[in-house]
Chains A and B, each alone.
Chain A
Amino acid sequence: MTTVWVTVLAASLGCYGLKLVGVSLPESVLNHPRVQRTAGLLPVAMLTALVVTDLFDANRRYTADWHTLAGVAVGAIALRLGRSPVVVFLLAIATTAVTRLI
């Protein structure tokens, strides 16, 4: 088996296992207020880190791709106007595609 397969399977089963743990543990274990608070903040931190590294980490040199940036910026405006993730998704890819044509 290749390294990629081992990584894919380990990560997949690991992530599924985490979901299974979540629906199997007694409420009291994960119900601690600090654990709850951290649980809510973990996705905030990680999703933010993903977004900024996606946008500004081209070959680890802090260069941004302006087309992608424009797409995500238009998405942010749509979010500000209360649009759904579907609309945000479509506007972001359309903006990026159109600015690339220009």
Chain B
Amino acid sequence: MTPWSRIRAETLAPEPFPERAAIARSAAGIGLYAGAFGITFGAVATRSGLSVTQAVTLSAVMCTGASQFALVGVLAAGGSPLAGLSAALLLGLRNAFYGVPVTRILRPRGLRRIWTAQLVVDESTAMAVAYRNPRAGRYAFLATGIALYAMWTLGTLAGALIGSGIDTSALGLDAAAPAIFLALLWPQLSGDRGRTVALGAAVVALGLVRFVPAGLPIIAATAVAILAGFLPTRRRRKPQGR
């Protein structure tokens, strides 16, 4: 274990850390894609019947892509507002759990919690936990979170403004959301439990789409995760000779 990980981030001298340039590059890349994805969301939202202000409010206040697409998708499919609301909240629930590693790395106190919370999303959390040096983790979280928040909101505004002028399906933008969700989900599919949950969730969701209102299949799929999470872990044999 490096001495870094045992020292509280606040007490460190402001020395440069080696990962800084690489983190900044990754954060810029994520910001770029967040901008493009934001344009997609803005266009999809206004085409689903939301106003420009409503679309931008979602990105600036909710700021969690999957929940936003789920809400807009349910409303566009004629689902009830309550189904859309529950789908958005249940998908947003994971951000509460992301708060655990983020709090450990950033240790936000008082008012800093208010804006730290807003930056908690899949990408910023993944970046924060990727580094063992806590200063690098902190920098990764803030750089990614701020780039993403700014670009996502600005992108949404741009997409919402030109939304009626661009043909989202001609540009292939309807493939954007499922492709990004697959990309976010991908690392989790390398484990047995993750793969089983994904398969179960796919079966449950597809089994239900015919029979229940839009949004509910996504909520029902959480049962698979809860079941798998609360089942006792299979005892694994320890590797020999180590």
Contacts and interface: CB of A to CB of B under 8 A. Distances in A.
A60 B188 contact: no
Contacts, number: 303
Given A49-B221, A92-B176, A100 B95 contact: no
Contacts of A38: 225-226, 228-230
Where chain B touches its partner, the secondary structure class is helix
Nearest to B29: A86
Contacts of B116: 23
A95 B81 CA distance: 33
Interface string B60-89: 011110110111010100000100110011
B27 interface: no
A66 B178 CA distance: 13
Contact of B95 (A22, A27, A45, A55): A22
Interface residues of B, number: 95
Interface residues on A, range: 35 or more
Nearest to B173: A93
A20 interface: yes
B95 A18 contact: yes
Residue of A8, A61, A94 most packed against chain B (CB within 10 A):
A8
11 contacts: A8-B58, A16-B118, A23-B108, A41-B228, A47-B185, A49-B218, A53-B205, A56-B209, A57-B209, A71-B175, A91-B179
Q: When A and B form their complex, which 8 residue pairs have the shortest distance between CB atoms, in order from nearest?
A: A22-B99, A38-B229, A39-B97, A96-B172, A97-B172, A71-B175, A92-B179, A15-B92
Interface of A: 3-16, 18-25, 27, 30-31, 34-57, 60-62, 65, 67-68, 71-72, 75-76, 79, 84-86, 88-98, 100
Given A71-B179, A72-B175, A75-B175, 16 more contacts: A8-B57, A11-B58, A11-B67, A15-B64, A15-B88, A22-B99, A22-B100, A22-B120, A42-B225, A48-B201, A50-B91, A51-B185, A53-B217, A60-B214, A85-B33, A93-B175
